[in-house]
Amino acid sequence: MSETNELLQTYLGIRPASATEATLRLLIWTGLQILGADEGSLLVLDETTGDLRFVMTLGNEKSGTMLIGQRVPIGQGLTGLAAATREVQIGSPIYRDIKQAERVDGSAPEAVIAAPMLINDRLVGVITGVSFTRGYRFDSQGGRMFGGFAAIAGVLVDQEQRLAALAEGLELRGMGQAEIAIRLTNLGRQRPEVMNDVTTIIRLLEKLALPQS
> Are 159 and 181 within one domain?
no
pLDDT at residue 203 in the model: 64
> Are 161 and 199 within one domain?
no
> Are 105 and 183 within one domain?
no
H helix and E strand count, the chain: 6, 6
CA pair distance 116, 127, nearest whole angstrom: 7
Q: Can you give the CATH number for the domain in which 30 is found? A: 3.30.450.40
Render pLDDT for 91-106 as a digit per residue (tens, 0 to 9): 987 655 555 545 444 5
> Are 72 and 175 within one domain?
no
> Are 184 and 123 within one domain?
no
Q: Kind and range of the H or E element at 71?
A: strand 71-73
- Structure pTM? 0.73
Least confident of 39-53, 142-156, 189-203: 189-203
User: What is the domain extent for residue 187?
Assistant: 170-209
Candidates 51, 54, 56, 40; CA nearest to 80 is 51
Render pLDDT for 37-93 as a digit per residue (tens, 0 to 9): 999 999 999 999 999 999 999 988 777 678 899 999 999 999 999 999 999 999 987
Average pLDDT value for the chain: 81
Least confident of 1-5, 68-72, 151-155: 1-5
Identify residue 68 by its one-letter amino acid code.
I
Find the helix packing angle between 3-12 and 20-35, rounded to 10°.
100
Query: What is the arrangement of strands in the sheet containing 51-58, beginning at the earlier edge strand?
Result: 71-73, 51-58, 39-46, 122-131, 111-119, 89-91
Q: How many CA atoms lie within 13 A of 115 on its CB side?
A: 24
Q: Coil, strand or helix: which one is 212? A: coil
CA pair distance 53, 70, nearest whole angstrom: 6
Q: What is the mean pLDDT of residues 124-153?
A: 94
> Are 144 and 201 within one domain?
no
> Are 152 and 62 within one domain?
yes
Q: How many domains does the chain have?
A: 2
DSSP string, 90-156: EES---SS---PPPTT-----EEEEEEEEETTEEEEEEEEEE-STT----HHHHHHHHHHHHHHHHH
Q: Are 150 and 142 in contact (CB under 8 A)?
A: no
> Are 32 and 83 within one domain?
yes
Q: Which residues contact 35 (CB under 8 A, 6 or more apart)?
A: 113, 129, 131, 138, 142, 145, 146
> Are 82 and 176 within one domain?
no
> Are 196 and 153 within one domain?
no
> Are 153 and 180 within one domain?
no
Identify residue 102 by its one-letter amino acid code.
E
CA pair distance 31, 43, nearest whole angstrom: 15
Residue 132: pLDDT over 80? yes
> Are 126 and 186 within one domain?
no
pLDDT band at 192 (very low <50, low <70, confident <90, very high): confident
Cα angle value 162/26/164 (rounded, 5°): 15
Residue 175: pLDDT over 80? no
Identify residue 136 by its one-letter amino acid code.
Y
Q: Give how far Cα 5 sits from Cα of 31, 62, 126, 192, Å.
A: 21, 18, 17, 50
